[in-house]
Amino acid sequence: MDVITDAVHLCVDMQRLFDRDGPWETPWMSRVLPIVRRLAEAHPEKTVFTRFVPPETPRQARGRWRDFYEHWRDVTLERLDPKLIDLVDPLAALVPPATVIDKPAYSPFERSRLQAVLQERGATTLIISGAETDVCVLAAVLDAVDLGYRVVIARDALCSANDATHDALLTLYEQRYSHQIDLASSAEILELWR
């Protein structure tokens, strides 16, 4: 893999909502958190954290999201402890200089200011970490590819609630997207990210 230049670290949804005792617990989060933290601490000014923010009520959601939040009514803002939207503590301490982008959907590019922030920073490469490999990270990766970014996935800085789909996605990226997506360890990324 080549040297990583003009990069932004896009850390997806490492927030209390998905942490231990959160309503959508991702059991691996505590295991990958030190790795994600090292990536973010390397260049906090080049790190963007996303936060998944549900609507106030299911009625405020559009289309099939309304049904989703009827099922997950306790995860709407009218019922959810607002502290669960926050980044997990070690990462929250990096803001600022790191940036936080709130998003209402799986993809951080959907109805958010992410694309504008990346353009302001001259980013051509996205180093992607976070939660969950097979939901919001997947949406971020595919949208980033469609937008023409070089995508570098930190394979040891992703977490999911499902081992099988996590592993399947890493295989998919390697076997089907090898011209557009690089997978590397966080150590390799840190060595090449200058």
User: Per-residue pLDDT for 137 more than 90?
Assistant: yes
Over residues 71-96, the mean pLDDT reads: 97
Burial category of 23 from C-beta neighbours within 10 Å (exposed 0-12, middle 13-18, buried 19 and up): middle
Q: What is the pLDDT of residue 113?
A: 97
Query: Which pTM was predicted?
Result: 0.96
Confidence of residue 21 (pLDDT cuts 50, 70, 90): confident
Q: What is the DSSP string of the chain?
A: ---B-SEEEEEE--BGGGSTTSTT--TTHHHHHHHHHHHHHH-GGGEEEEEE---SSGGGS-THHHHHHHHTGGGSTTTS-GGGGSBPHHHHTTTTTSEEEEESSSSTTTTSSHHHHHHHTT--EEEEEEE-TTTHHHHHHHHHHHTT-EEEEEEEEEE-S-HHHHHHHHHHHHHH-TTTEEEE-HHHHHHHB-
Task: At 41, list the tokens.
Answer: 């601490």
User: Per-residue pLDDT for 128 more than 80?
Assistant: yes
Q: What is the pLDDT of residue 2?
A: 87
User: Per-residue pLDDT for 194 more than 90?
Assistant: no
Domains of the chain listed by start with CATH number: 7-54+86-192 (3.40.50.850)
User: Per-residue pLDDT for 185 more than 90?
Assistant: yes
pLDDT in tens, 168-180: 999 999 999 999 9
Rounded CA gap, 25 and 194, in Å? 34
Over residues 96-116, the mean pLDDT reads: 97
Q: What is the pLDDT of residue 92?
A: 97
Over residues 95-110, the mean pLDDT reads: 97
Instruction: Decide if 127 contacts 7 (C-beta within 8 A).
Output: yes
Tell me if residue 48 falls in helix, strand or coil: strand
Rounded CA gap, 114 and 56, in Å? 22
pLDDT in tens, 147-156: 999 999 999 9
Q: What is the pLDDT of residue 1?
A: 81
Q: What is the pLDDT of residue 45?
A: 97
